[in-house]
Amino acid sequence: MAQELVGKPIATAMREEILHQSRAYQQRGINPKIAVISVGHDAAARAYVASLKRVAEKLEITFADVHLDPDTAKVHKRVAALAADEHVHGIILALPFAKTIDAAAVYAQVPTDKDIDGLGAGQFGRLSAGEEEGVLAPATPQACLALVEPIMSLKGADTVILGRGKTVGRGLAAMLLNRHATVSVCHSATKNLADVTRRADVIFSAAGNPGLLTRDHVRAGQIVIDAGVSIVDGALCGDADFPAVAEVVSAITPSPGGVGPVTMAFVFANLMKAVQIGAES
């Protein structure tokens, strides 16, 4: 049976350090502040906002829940105000937005040094160019790597990513290349998926497709990092058929309880970086 790579120990250690940093900034008269923007009434987006708020309160971080109606002009005006506010250190878009709002256009308004999601062109471009020092990298790819790197070196490793989305797959591919891994990115048009996944040393799954990764896709000795997020019968689940896959591979993250807690910690670690950038500018 596979080793379960649970995220809580990593997340707990990170949150203790973030709380220490937050208090240190407050002693200097700097109150770390995060603004989370949601537009419309998507249940998943609002649940994400609530989760961020709970963690922010525990970390003594000022939290602004910016919940807007889907009026394009008013949304852009509010985002522009947040972008210009020197007391706001980090901005997150809680997606999906209402369909009438162009999220990419809103993202374009977020200053690079406040983009703690790491998904704007500035941060993402630097990451893709091979930079990581000082970059606000996307939180989920950071979490994926934090779960793998304590147990194996990625240099020369054969890695497979399931899912080419900007939130996880594309940023993770860049970060793996920065670590000298061999990277294959699979998606809906990939042929003979099982042949590709069985060759890998590490499989990172972020397709949001429950049951995508089965026993037939894996072999003994592999590590599986399941960053997929889906709701099935009211319960959160990942991409892997966990019981079947765990019988074969060496190590696997559970879902929930694996990547998620570490991702949340990296969101606030990015905020601390953004506070530092602001303090130094």
SS3 at position 58: helix
Amino acid at site 178 = N
**Residue carrying the six token digits 């209402």:** 98
How far, in Å, CA of 172 to CA of 189, rounded?
19
- Tokens for 47, please give them: 């649940």
Question: What integer pLDDT is reported at residue 119 of this predicted model?
Answer: 87
Question: What integer pLDDT is reported at residue 230 of this predicted model?
Answer: 87
Question: What integer pLDDT is reported at residue 231 of this predicted model?
Answer: 82
Question: What integer pLDDT is reported at residue 209 of this predicted model?
Answer: 94
Pick from 138, 167, 172: nearest CA to 154: 172
Handedness of CA 119, 121, 122, 123 (dihedral sign): positive
Q: Please name the residues in contact with 134: beta carbons below 8 A apart, sequence gap of 6 or more.
A: 273, 277
- What does pTM read for this prediction? 0.94
Spatial contact of 82 and 51, defined as CB atoms under 8 Å apart: no
Mean pLDDT, each 10-residue run in order, the chain (281 residues): 96 98 97 97 89 96 97 96 97 94 93 93 89 92 98 97 94 96 96 97 96 97 95 88 97 96 97 92 73
Spatial contact of 76 and 106, defined as CB atoms under 8 Å apart: yes
Pick from 241, 253, 207: nearest CA to 11: 253
DSSP 228-243: --EEETTEEE-SB-HH
Spatial contact of 186 and 193, defined as CB atoms under 8 Å apart: yes
Under DSSP, the state recorded for 252 is E
Amino acid at site 106 = V
Q: Measured between alpha carbons, how far is residue 116 from residues 73, 89, 180, 277 in Å?
A: 24, 9, 25, 12
